[in-house]
Chain A
Amino acid sequence: MKREKMTDLWSLLLLLFGSIFMIAPFIWTISTSLKDRRNVFEIPPQWIPEPITFGNYAKVWLESPLLHGFMNSLIIVVIVLTIGMLVSAMSAYAFGKFEFPYKGMLFMGLLGTMMIPYSVVMIPQYIGFSRLDWVDTLLPLIVPGLFGNIVVIFFIRQYLQSAMPTELIEAAKIDGCSFPGIFFKIALPIMKPALAAQAALGFMGIWNDFLGPLIYLHTPEKQTIQVLIASMQAMYIGQSDYPMIMAAAIISMVPVIIVFFFCQRYFIESMAISGIKG
C-alpha cells in the first residue's frame, strides 16, 4: 500500500514537471500580449509585464476585421454542423439498422472517401467552384459539408448498432409510426450522446481549418478567423510587433478553449472511442 502511494507521488511529480513545458508557452503568450511593445525585448524576459496593458487587444481588434473573421467562421461552423450532422445521422441510421440492395457497395464507396487526401481533390474542386463564381465566398467551405461526413456516419452507425435494439423499430412500425417518424422521435434522441461527441470534434476541425479557407477567401472581410490571424504575421512580424500578434493569437484561441471546457467530456471520450474503433 505504501509502495502504491510512492508511485502515485512520483507519477504526479513527473507529470507536474512535464506540465511546466506544456503550459509555459501559453503563459508566455498571454504575458507578451499584455506588454508594451518596447518591453518585449528585455533580457531576461519578464513573465509579469510591467506595466500591464490591454492596448494590444484593443488595437488589433480595431486594425483588423476580427469580428468579421469570427462571424465568418461561426457561419460556416453553425450551418455545416447543424445540417451536416443531421444528414450524417440520417444515413447512419439507414446504414446501421436496415437492409437494402447495394448497401454494402454504397457504404464501402463512402469509406473509400476517407482515403482521398484533400491535396488531390483541392485543385479540381477549386476549378469547379471558380466556374460557379464561388471563390471569395463562404460557399465552397459550407456546401461540401452539407452532404454529411463519412467519419461521423461511421461512428454513429457503430453506436446505433449497440445502443438501439431493432425490436424498438419493429414495435414502432406496428404502432403505425412512419419511417421518418421513427427516425426523429426514437432514433435521433438515442443518438444524442454520440452526436454531441462528434459535434465537439467537428467544431474543432472546422474552426481550426486553414488550407481550404486560405485557398478560397481573399478579401479580409470575407476571411475566417484563422486566415485573418495568419495574415497578421506578414503585417506585424516585419515590425517585430510581437505583442500584437500574441494578442491576435489569443483572441483566436478563446472560442475553442471555451467550447472545450464546456464539452471536455465529449472531446476526450470521442477521441478515445474513435481511436479504439480505428
Chain B
Amino acid sequence: MGTKLGGYRRRELAWLYLFVAPPVLGFLLFGLVPILFSIYISFHKWDMLSDPQWAGLANYKDLLGDEKVYKSMYNTIYLMIGIPIGMVLSMLLAILMNRKFTGISFMRTIYYLPVISPIIAVSLLWQWILNQDYGLLNNFLWETFGIAGPNWLGKPEWVKPSLILIGLWSGIGGNMVLYLAGLQSISSTYYEAAEIDGAGAWHKLTRITIPLLTPIHFFVVVMGIIGAFQSFSQIYVLAVDGGPEYSGATVVYYIFQHAFQYFNMGYASAVAWVLGILIFVVTLIQFKLSNRWVYQD
C-alpha cells in the first residue's frame, strides 16, 4: 500500500513539475538569459553588423557625460507631476461615484472609456485637439476665456504639460475604479461613529476616507512611477524625434533611438541598465517607507 501511494505521489510530482515548467522556462529564456546578455552587451560597442567590441566601462562613462541622458531623465521625472494630480482627481471621482443613483454605471463607462482606448489612437486624437490654430482646445480657450492658446506640441515649454494633460485624461478612469473598490471596502460603521461624535463631511474625508485608502494610494503611486519610467508610445506619436529641443523625449525613447535607429546596442543597453536599476531602487525605497504611512488592518 505504502509503495503504491509513493508511486502516486511520484507521478503527481512529475505532473506538477510539468505544469509549472512553461513559465519557469519562459522566465529563463525571456527574462534571466536576456538580462545576463544585456549586462554583457552594455560593456561592448556593437552595431549588430560586425562583432561586438569590448569597451569596458566606456558606455557607462559616456552616458554620465551625455546631455541627452540627463534631459530625457528630467523629462521622464517631470511627467510624474501627473501622478499626484491624477490621484486627487480620481479619488474625488470615486467619492462622487460611490453612491447609488440611476445613470451611475453609464458615468463610470464614460470615464473608463479612455483607459481602454489604444494609446496610439488617443495620441493621434490629442495631436489634433492640441493643434495651435484649428484644435479644439485652443478654440475652446478663445471662445470661453478669450485666451489665445499656445502651440502645445510645438513649443518646448508646453510639450510636457500637454503630455501630462493627456495622461490625466486617459488615466484617471483606471485609478477611479481602484479607488471605488477601496471605498466600497470601508465599513460604514466608521462613518456612523464619526457622525455620532459630530464630525462633518471634511473631517470624515480627511480622518477616515483618505487614511483608510492608503493601500490604494500606495498601489497607485508605485504603479504610476513604474509606468511613468517606461512611457514611450505617446512620446513616439506626440513628440516626433523627441519633440522640439528634445523636450518630450523620455528615457525609454532615448534607449529606443539608440538601439533601433542608430544601432548602438551597447550604449542603449547601458542606459537601459541604469533605468532598470533606478526603477528597482525607487520601488524598493517605496516599499521600505510604506510601513510608515500605509494603513494595514
- Among listed A58-66, A93-101, A188-196, interface-contacting one: A93-101
B1-37: CB near A (< 8 Å → 1, else 0) gives 0000000100111011101101111110111011101
A275 adjacent to B216 (CB under 8 Å)? yes
Check: A78 CB closer than 8 A to any chain B CB: no
A198-233: CB near B (< 8 Å → 1, else 0) gives 000000100110110011000000000010011011
What is the CB-to-nearest-CB distance from B199 to chain A, in angstroms, rounded to a whole number?
A: 15
Extra contacts, 15 of them, besides A15-B93, A120-B34, A276-B181 (Cβ < 8 A), are: A16-B107, A25-B125, A88-B23, A94-B16, A121-B31, A124-B33, A127-B48, A146-B26, A148-B26, A208-B118, A229-B120, A230-B237, A252-B121, A256-B117, A275-B216
A179 adjacent to B273 (CB under 8 Å)? no
Check: A250 CB closer than 8 A to any chain B CB: yes
Number of interface residues of A (CB under 8 A): 96
Complex alpha-carbon distance, A69 and B98, angstroms: 40
User: Can you name the residue of chain A whose Cβ is closest to the Cβ of B234?
Assistant: A210
Partner of A44, one of B99, B111, B143, B185: B143
Which of B's residues lie within 8 Å of A, judged by CB? 8, 11-13, 15-17, 19-20, 22-27, 29-31, 33-35, 37-38, 41, 48, 93, 96-97, 99, 101, 103, 107-114, 116-121, 124-129, 131, 133-134, 136, 139, 143, 169, 173-174, 177-178, 180-182, 185, 215-216, 219, 222-223, 226, 229-230, 232-233, 236-237, 240, 251-252, 255-256, 259-260, 265, 268-269, 272-273, 275-276, 279-280, 283
In the complex, the 5 A-B pairs of residues with the closest C-beta atoms, listed nearest first = A147-B26, A272-B181, A124-B34, A275-B178, A249-B121
Complex alpha-carbon distance, A19 and B103, angstroms: 12
What is the CB-to-nearest-CB distance from B271 to chain A, in angstroms, rounded to a whole number?
A: 9
Check: A11 CB closer than 8 A to any chain B CB: yes
A5-35: CB near B (< 8 Å → 1, else 0) gives 0011001101110110111111011001000
Complex alpha-carbon distance, A273 and B120, angstroms: 27
**Chain A interface, DSSP helix/strand/loop, else mixed:** helix
Partner of B118, one of A144, A180, A252, A276: A252
Complex alpha-carbon distance, A44 and B142, angstroms: 10
Interface centre among A14, A23, A125 (most CB of B within 10 A): A125
Task: List residues of chain A with CB within 8 A of the CB of B178.
Answer: 271-272, 275-276
Complex alpha-carbon distance, A204 and B117, angstroms: 9
User: Can you name the residue of chain A whose Cβ is closest to the Cβ of B14?
Assistant: A179
A72-104: CB near B (< 8 Å → 1, else 0) gives 000000000000000110110111001010000
Which of A's residues lie within 8 Å of B, judged by CB? 7-8, 11-12, 14-16, 18-19, 21-26, 28-29, 32, 40-41, 43-45, 87-88, 90-91, 93-95, 98, 100, 106, 109-110, 112-113, 115-128, 130, 144, 146-150, 153, 173, 179-180, 183, 204, 207-208, 210-211, 214-215, 226, 229-230, 232-233, 237, 242, 245-246, 248-250, 252-253, 256-257, 260, 264, 267-268, 271-273, 275-276, 278
A110 adjacent to B181 (CB under 8 Å)? no
A19 adjacent to B111 (CB under 8 Å)? yes
Task: List residues of chain B with CB within 8 A of the CB of A249.
Answer: 120-121, 124-125
What is the CB-to-nearest-CB distance from B67 to chain A, in angstroms, rounded to a whole number?
A: 20
Complex alpha-carbon distance, A110 and B232, angstroms: 25
Partner of A180, one of B15, B112, B219, B256: B15
Q: How many A-B residue pairs have C-beta atoms within 8 angstroms? Tell me.
A: 264
A260 adjacent to B116 (CB under 8 Å)? yes
User: Can you name the residue of chain B whose Cβ is closest to the Cβ of A115?
Assistant: B280
Complex alpha-carbon distance, A177 and B167, angstroms: 52
Complex alpha-carbon distance, A180 and B182, angstroms: 38
A123 adjacent to B35 (CB under 8 Å)? no
